[in-house]
Structure formats: C-alpha cells, structure tokens
A and B are shown apart, each in its own frame.
Chain A
C-alpha cells in the first residue's frame, strides 16, 4: 500500500464527497424543512403519504413500472432468444436496430410518436383516408401510450441482458436436459430461463425504475400524475407556493429511495446466484439453432416489426426536420431547410453548449474514472469497494434528483450554480458510472503481470501506467469515452434545473421549443441533429469494438 495510492484514493473520495455525497445529503436534509419556518420535521413526508393525490401519483408510477416490466418482458424474451439463438441473416443489423433506443434520447422517441401516432398523426390520417375508421384512435395519450413508448425505449435493456444470458449459457446444460428427455418449451422454462435470471434481472431493474426517473415523457403526453413529473412541476413552478417546492423535493427523495433500494435488492440477488463461471469451456458463440421455415419466417416478421417501430423515430423526425407545417397531412408537403437555418443562425450556441458541456464533463470523467478504476481494481486500499459502490449507485439515481440537489446545494453556501461550470459538473456526476464501468472491466481483463514486468524492469507506477496499462486499456476506455459522451450529450433531467439564459443545450432547446408549442419543426430538427450526431458516435464505437451492454450495465466480471 504505497503512499501515492493512499493520497490518490483520498483525492477521489474528496471529489465524491463534494460532488455526490454533499449535494445528495443536502437534498435529503432539505426534504425535512418545514416551509415558512426555520424548523425541521417529518411533516412533509407525513403529508405526502396522507395526501390522496400524492398517493395516487405514487400508485400510478408503480402501476406504470409493473406494466412496463410485463410488456418489455413479454416482447423482450422472444426477441432476445431470436437474436441470440437463431441463425439468420442480418443478425448484426437487427441487433443494432433493436438496441438503438438505448442511445437515442427518450424525448426524441416521444416527439416522433406524437407525429406518427398522434390524434391527427400519420397513422390515424392513413386509416381515416382508407375508411377503416371514422374518428381518430387515441394511440398514445394515456397510460397505454406511456407503456407503449417507454416499453420501446426500455426494451433494449431486457434484450441486452437476456441475449447475453442466452449466449453465455454453457450449451451442455441444455443438451443434458435434452438427453434427459426434456424437449422444447419444457427445457426452455426449466433450464434456460432460470439460468438467465441474473442477466434478466440486471436489465429488469433498470426498466422498472424508469418511470421513477422519466418525468418528460408523461409530461409531453399530457400525463402529469406520475412521481417524477409531479416533482418537476412542483419544483419548477413553485413561485406561488413555496410549500409545493418541499413536496416536490419529498417526491424526488421518495423516487430516489425506491430506485436505490430496488437496485440494491436486484444487485444482491444477482450476486447471490451467479451461475456464470461455474462451468468451464463455453464456446464463444453459444448454442445456435437452425429453426424450421415457419418459425424462421415468424421470427423475421417479428424482428422487422420491432425494427420498424425503432426506425420510425429517426425517419419521422427527419421528415419533420426538413419540412414545415406538417399538420393534418399524412406526409409533409412543404419541404424546407428553414428549421436548420433557424437553429444554426439564431441559436448556434445550443450546439456549442452541448459539445462544450459534454466535452468538459468527459474530461472530468476520464480524469476521475481512470484513477478510480485503478484504485478499485489494482489496490488493496480499504474503502475501495465503497467507492465502487457509491459510483455504481449513480446508475440508479434519478437524474431529476441530481439536478435538484445541485440546484439546492450549490446555491447559497457554495455558489457554484451561478457559473456555467455547474452544467458539466452535473453531467459528470450523473454519467460517472458509464465511463468507470468500462475502464473497470478493461482493467480486470488486463493481466497484472504485464504491469509487474514493467515495474520489475525499473519503471515507476506512473510511467508503467502510461507506457503499459493505458495502451492496453485503450479499446475499452475509448468505448467508455464515447458512451459517456453520448449519454451526457442527451442529458436533460439534471440540466433542466440548472441552466440559465445562454447555457441552453440541445435537449433543453428541444424541450423549450416544444413547450412554446409553435416550434415543433425546430424541436424535431434539433432532435434529428442529435440523432445524427449520436449515429456518428455509434459508428465510432462499432469501429473500436466493444459492447454497448458493458457501458450500460457493465458488470465487472468476464
């Protein structure tokens, strides 16, 4: 245990304390404040859990979570199975398409679906034109629409976890069942699926928590009675009644507590029954099946349907971006570059801000993440597991909680929030795990003897890091860098509380343009721009190699 790594760990803890622990405890403390007085108490919580409205909101959110989990599971299990097991053409393409929503901003999907599935959206108009229906069908406004849109957004998390599970199961487990006489469904339900529960659960918990995090989708669909949306409204519009602010904060804390406890519960359960690594000699491809023609074509139809739904997002947004006045028409008829002209000429600052804030956050992320990964993987310092734990928890923490806590904590006592640096700082702490997990797992794969050999040859720890470790880690680290950037680039939950005039990013621009109501075209063009940028970044990732999964969930093993 060298003095160098001790002071490094101390420095990392200092950063965590200042940018994570301090604001979050500030948030919790604030929730116990009683408005209009200087006293503290649990009144806010009592009121929250006595108030029929907040209870309903809480219930709604839970219900949405459950429905979301059921739909993503029902659609995700066959999808993952097809992708992992069936031998078919275009496997890579379909996998990429189905996983796409992970990297698309959630609000982009909502806008696209409003245009396509809305009351007078493309689909309704098409159906009415053909005479199949007289009145528009309500496809998306309501609980069912929320389930639909959020399911599509969260489906990849289930599919990623499960298909990795299906691929990684040792084929002999299933062959043994086959020899014992279990065929088809029976084998799937008694052997395959139970063995995949850990990988399923990893995705399922993120799905379940999404309604406790996503405040924007319900809001855009006109559904406000969900916990995060209520928190947002209460906190953002508390001019009339300061008490509302405290109820908003309580709602945020409640969401955060639900998220953290469920996340920990799932993690504990997964740790308890880790089946991987028990058997030796797995093939890399896993078990691959050649299905019969009927099953195969059915699988294709299914893949294509889901892929179309995903593709609708960029296509619809693209159409909207290059047109104006797309209302009451099946497809736009007035084509123009006006939207882009407006963005580039009148508010180029948004693009600049987006790149600048995400870029600075990324620099912070690397400067923190690499040493953190080193401390966690390569040293025996006490407290390194706690460090890993705190950072991983940020995966489950609702963005809105971080945004609010930064606003509160860096306002009076430490007035960081008056400077634009607060924007990249918030992005940094919100997206921290994305980079760290990548660096972490690459570090685990790096044989320590390679570094030891360098030290034996006379190189110091720092020289060894730059000459040996970093070049070998580069691939994993680069994927982490790009993922971090993508996620920071589309972040809105934290930024929406912290931005001031002149600090707007693209996502905030999209939100504001939608909010003003009239500028849907500009919002669509901005969303389209973000998708294009994300696409380019994704291309870079696929060039480097590595997995989106690792970045998104990034279990340390393998």
Chain B
C-alpha cells in the first residue's frame, strides 16, 4: 500500500475547479513532483496534503491514517514539514528560534532540542548562523533555514512548494541536487511542486504532470520524456515538433501507422504503447528536435526523408540548432555536427520512424 494516497480529491474556489477528482499514490521514501503550468492545481493539491486547504470531496491517506473522511486532521497533527515558495522564515526571530519553534511546541527536552537543531543546521550547511536574523541572510540561506525548520521535527512527509523559484539560476541548479541528496539520505517521503520541467527532471523519482486540475501522466523522468501521454505533456516537457495530420493507414504490426500531414502523404510513425488509432483520427505526428537527422545530400533511407531549406541556423556550443522549412511546416532540429549549408540553402531531414510518434 502506498504511503500517501490521494483519493478522488476535488477542490474548487468559487466557480473555478482547482482539482478535478484526482487519484495519486506516493510511495514511502520517494520524491514525487507535481509538475504543471501555473493554475494547473499542483499547489492546491500540495496544500490539501498539508491541510492548509479543505477539499470539497475525496480523502487523503497518510501512512494509513485518513486525513479528511474521519474528521479533518489539522496541519499540526499530520506529521508534515513544509517549505514555502517565499521561504516564510519569520523575520522577527533569529535563525535558531525559527528552527526550534516546532520542537518547542512538541515539548522536546531542552538538551535534545539543541542537539537536533545543531544537527539539522549542519545538514543544511548553516552552522554558525544561529544568531542571525533572516534579514541578514541571503535568499539561498533563508531557503536553507526554511528547509532546516521543516526537517527538524522529523516529519513523515516533506512538502516543498516551488522552494527554488525565488532564487537566481546558478543557485537554483546547485540547490536542486542538494535537496535531492538530503531527502534521499534521510529517506523521507517528499512531495515537490514546481513549474520548472528541468528542475522536475533532476529532482524527482516520479513526476505527476498536471493540467487544469487533472493528473495527465505519472511516471519517472525518462518515461515522461520518452513516452509523453499527449501533446500537452510532450509540449510542457522538453521541446517537440508537432505536425498536425490524420491517420490514413494502420500497418500490419498495428504499432506503426501512416499519417497524412501538410507536407507528406505518408509519414511513418509509431503509436506510443501500441495504442490503437483508427484511420481518420486527427493526430499530431511528433518528434523531438534531437531525433531529427540532417544530411547535406539525400540519405539512403527511403521513407520519412524530406527536402527543406534552412531558415535559421544557430551555433550553441555543444550542438547546432536549425529551423528548417519543409513546404510550409517549420521543423526544429538539434544536430550534433555541422553542415556546410548556411541559412537559405537546402538540406535533407530524416524523421526516424522509430522516434516519430503520434499524439493527440
């Protein structure tokens, strides 16, 4: 049985449905990320787990205890620690008082309190800053205080609400790995909310992608990237070329189909997970820029080869980026090697049928 079970959760704010009957299971010791654009319901879901919002329907089970159906359990009684987007480090208290606040409420003996605080300060790398006020700390340090405060009570679940979004890019990348290894080491179950797909890829054991109040796909980072469930997920995570078209024929092995697009009568594509698609279905033939291959001369492959012209060409250090026009369709290409052609000249692209999938 999962450590946290979210069952049929529903929450609305006045007329707006924030969470639309979602199901989610989070295993013990895993780091699950709720990922989605703003307004998708990820933060509301997290706040429901914390008990800061009351859902209209559904239940949340943490470690076998129902949080809603058998009387609403307040945040204080849920055994959680939480890190807020804007740190929420109390500005009128020193670092030490901030961290020790929760322990005091649990009536932990003074000596033990000091021990645990010292340990957690060491863990987040803040030793020696106990007597500072938050205003005397940098943003990154404040976020570490917030993390220490959330961890010091030994919570069953750690909730993180876009904890890095207020930090600058360099620091953000650094702290991602730090949080991940810290949470791993402590073996704590964690739910992490972010709208930053790169952050989600780095930090998560599994990602739940959300869109307008629904969980669209759950899986580990590789699955989500390689086999997106639909156009939304594919678009949100990484970059994808979408070529709108219509299924014209299903081939014998049933996982391969032919799609008519604006520039091709028969584009060969795979269907993800062998899902059946009927002829006539409107689909997007989709391929990642790094899966498109470019050739200065016509390649040997017989199918999915097209002639196009270079609209933009950019050198990005470790790779090259092309915008290639095939008829009226613009295709983005990420190539590992250079070509003699320049902007305005022609080249050939190959959309590998194994990597070209249909999405709806």
Contacts and interface: CB of A to CB of B under 8 A. Distances in A.
B88 A180 contact: no
Interface string B70-87: 000011110011101111
Question: Chain B binding site: helix, strand, loop or mixed by DSSP?
Answer: mixed
B204 to A, nearest CB: 22
A112 to B, nearest CB: 41
A504 interface: no
Interface stretch (B101-109, B264-272, B332-340): B101-109
Contacts of A175: 50, 52, 75, 82, 84, 88
B281 interface: no
Nearest to B101: A180
Contacts of A280: 86, 166
Contacts of B80: 179
Interface of A: 170, 172-173, 175-183, 186, 190-191, 194-195, 197, 273, 275, 278-282
B84 A172 contact: yes
Most B-side CB within 10 Å, residue of A173, A177, A180, A194: A180
A186 B104 CA distance: 12
A176 B75 CA distance: 10
Interface in B83-97: 84-88, 90-92
B153 interface: yes
Contacts of A282: 86
Nearest to B85: A281
B74 A178 contact: yes
A194 B92 contact: yes
Contacts of B50: 175, 179
A264 to B, nearest CB: 22
A173 B88 CA distance: 5
B337 to A, nearest CB: 44
Contacts of B91: 195, 273, 275, 278-279
Interface of B: 50, 52, 74-77, 80-82, 84-88, 90-92, 101-102, 105-106, 134-135, 146, 149-150, 153, 166
Given A175-B82, A279-B91, 9 more contacts: A170-B88, A178-B75, A180-B149, A181-B77, A183-B74, A194-B92, A195-B92, A281-B166, A282-B86
A180 B92 contact: no
Contacts of A176: 82, 84, 88, 90, 146, 149
A180 B90 CA distance: 12
Interface centre among B87, B134, B149 (most CB of A within 10 A): B87
A178 B90 contact: no
A197 B92 CA distance: 10
B75 A179 contact: yes
Contacts of B135: 278
Contacts of A186: 105
B86 A181 contact: no
Contact of B82 (A179, A195, A273): A179
B139 to A, nearest CB: 9
A182 B101 contact: yes
Contact of A180 (B52, B86, B87, B153): B153
Contacts of A179: 50, 52, 75-76, 80-82, 150
B293 to A, nearest CB: 44
A275 B76 CA distance: 25
Contacts of A278: 91, 134-135
B85 A182 contact: no
